[in-house]
Amino acid sequence: MKRKCIKCSKETGIYLPHHRLALCQEHYTAWFESRTQRTITEFRMMTGSDKILVAVSGGKDSLSLWNALVKLGYDADGLHINLGIPEYSELSQKKTQEFAERVGRKLHVVEIKTDFGRTIPEISKIERRPPCSFCGTLKRYFMNLYAKKGGYTVVATGHNLDDETAVLMLNTLNWNTEYLARQYPVLPEGDGLAKKVKPFCKMTEKETAFYAVINGIDFVEDECPFAVGSTTIIYKKILSQIEQKFPGTKIRFYSEFLAKMYPMIRGSREAPKIGKCNMCGEPTQSSICLVCRMKIRAS
Ligand code: SF4
Ligand code: ZN
Ligand code: ZN
């Protein structure tokens, strides 16, 4: 059904039911970028004097984030982590490199095969567990390392509202208070950890997809082959079904958690003691960090 853009009355197919908002392509882009800026301001994610490292996988969320941050005037470079997954990783790196040229910004590339010594599928065989159970740990490790090496003050990731609510639902159903206490869109710098932010935490997956398509961003459409059947995807599907029936459920679930539950959970917990890994010197809660332990098992 065609509606009229609330700004210029042009006919448009873009309608956001949870915001009761119809916008043409041009005004959608302006709305999306200003909402991103409002989120950045609300959570004090970054300022114009920060040096930002955007974690870019080659997917629609991370490339859209890089695009929006550069357009908003931030000093934002990219970091791509090549996981060594046949075909998927090659295509992801290619699209990311092409996009870096388009925005005219520096791109750092980490090859897990070189930097860690094994690819994700190889580590999975050695560890005898699914790639998703350790991939995030490796990615966070290298993001943090490269941010510090390059003098970046903030690491930005493209996590969107669908990602955040899926994890929130999973952690709530399991009452995993340890994870809930860390589920905030800004994690401050300290103990050898770089500041981490999620400027798209209030944007749905559909909204970032619209933005990417409208702005001609050439992203990898296929999901990582290991994502198939993952728990998060199941939760995302369920939440999207609820959202269809009751528009606004996702944003309410997330925003109300941040406003009401997060302060209570956070305030009731002591901050974990972070030390330095005896092998690599990176932050960890034990004597040897998870990545070095995996390295030992893989050697
Ligand atoms: Fe890593 Fe799993 Fe995500 Fe693939 S789906 S990038 S293996 S966490
Ligand atoms: Zn318009
Ligand atoms: Zn270590």
Choose between 136 and 228: higher pLDDT.
Answer: 136
**Ligand 1 mutation pick, 116, 132, 134, 231, max ligand atoms within 8 A of CB:** 132
Q: pLDDT at position 269, please?
A: 80
Binding site membership of 233 for ligand 1 (Cβ less than 6 Å):
no
pLDDT at 271 over 90: no
DSSP characters over 149-211: HTT-SEEE----HHHHHHHHHHHHHTT-HHHHTT--SEE--BTTB-EEE-TTTTS-HHHHHHH
pLDDT of 228: 86
Q: Whose CA is nearest to atom 8 of ligand 1?
A: 132
The pTM (predicted TM-score) of the whole model is 0.95
Residue 193 in this model has a pLDDT that exceeds 90: yes
pLDDT at 67 over 90: yes
CB under 5 Å of ion ligand 2: residues: 5, 7-8, 10, 24, 27
Mutate to test the pocket of ligand 1, among 89, 120, 124, 234 (most ligand atoms within 8 A of CB): 120
Note whether 52 and 76 are within 8 A (CB).
yes
Tens digits of residue pLDDT in 50-66? 999 999 999 999 999 99
Residues 6+ apart with CB under 8 A from 228: none
Q: Is the pLDDT of residue 206 over 90?
A: yes
Average pLDDT across the chain, whole number: 96
Q: Which helix (H) or strand (E) holds 265?
A: helix 262-267
- Centre of ligand 2 from the C-alpha of residue 19, in Å: 16
Residue of minimum CA distance from atom 5 in ligand 1: 227
- Ligand 3 mean position, distance from CA 128 (Å): 21
Counting Cβ atoms within 10 Å, is residue 105 exposed (0-12), middle (13-18) or buried (19+)?
A: middle
- What is the tens place of the pLDDT at every residue in 81-112? 999 999 999 999 999 999 999 999 999 999 99
Name the token pair of 69.
Answer: 């941050």
Give the pLDDT band (50/70/90) at residue 239: very high
Q: Are 194 and 155 in contact (CB under 8 A)?
A: yes
Q: Which ligand is nearest to the CA of 291?
A: 3
pLDDT of residue 236: 96
